[in-house]
């Protein structure tokens, strides 16, 4: 038995049956309206939670897609850098070989210049040259 049903006889005795019924019905209506409002609020909260979950899920999926896209771009960039590094190592090796060949040429030219210089000093001293550089 509800509280209104329990209290109704006492109110009827004091205030009269019609007024008591009206008062109890009003109280019951307000209580039912409060329950409806509370149920609507819960339903609205649930709908808001579902909407928020969907929005967060979509945002999360977009975030993951963005991360995957960024990861793929970084992978391609890293691959390009690796290729550049391989090319640079190859170029570096070729440059070292060219430098070594140039150093050998410089050493040969220095030796030849040294021989020419010695022969020139011999000629200036009145002696015959040793090398055949004059005939070249």
In a domain, residue 134? The reply is: no
In a domain, 136, yes or no: no
Average pLDDT, the chain: 82
With cut-offs at 50, 70 and 90, classify the pLDDT of residue 135: low
Mean pLDDT of 78-106: 93
Contacts of 134 (CB under 8 A, 6+ apart): 119
Model pTM score: 0.41
Does 79 reside within a domain? Answer: yes
- Asked whether residue 23 is assigned to any structural domain, the reply reads yes
Q: Nearest-CA neighbor of 3 among 18, 24, 23, 21?
A: 24
Number of domains in the chain: 1
């Amino acid at each position: 038995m509800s509280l209104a049903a329990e209290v109704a006889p006492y109110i009827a005795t004091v205030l009269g049956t019609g007024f008591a019924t009206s008062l109890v019905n009003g109280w019951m209506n307000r209580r039912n309206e409060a329950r409806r409002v509370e149920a609507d609020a819960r339903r609205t909260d649930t709908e808001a939670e579902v909407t928020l979950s969907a929005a967060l899920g979509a945002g999360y999926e977009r975030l993951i897609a963005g991360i995957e896209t960024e990861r793929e771009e970084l992978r391609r960039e890293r691959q390009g850098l690796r290729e550049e590094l391989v090319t640079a190592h190859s170029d570096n090796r070729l440059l070292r070989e060219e430098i070594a060949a140039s150093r050998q040429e410089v050493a040969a030219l220095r030796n030849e210049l040294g021989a020419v210089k010695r022969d020139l000093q011999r000629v200036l001293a009145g002696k015959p040259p040793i090398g055949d550089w004059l005939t070249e």
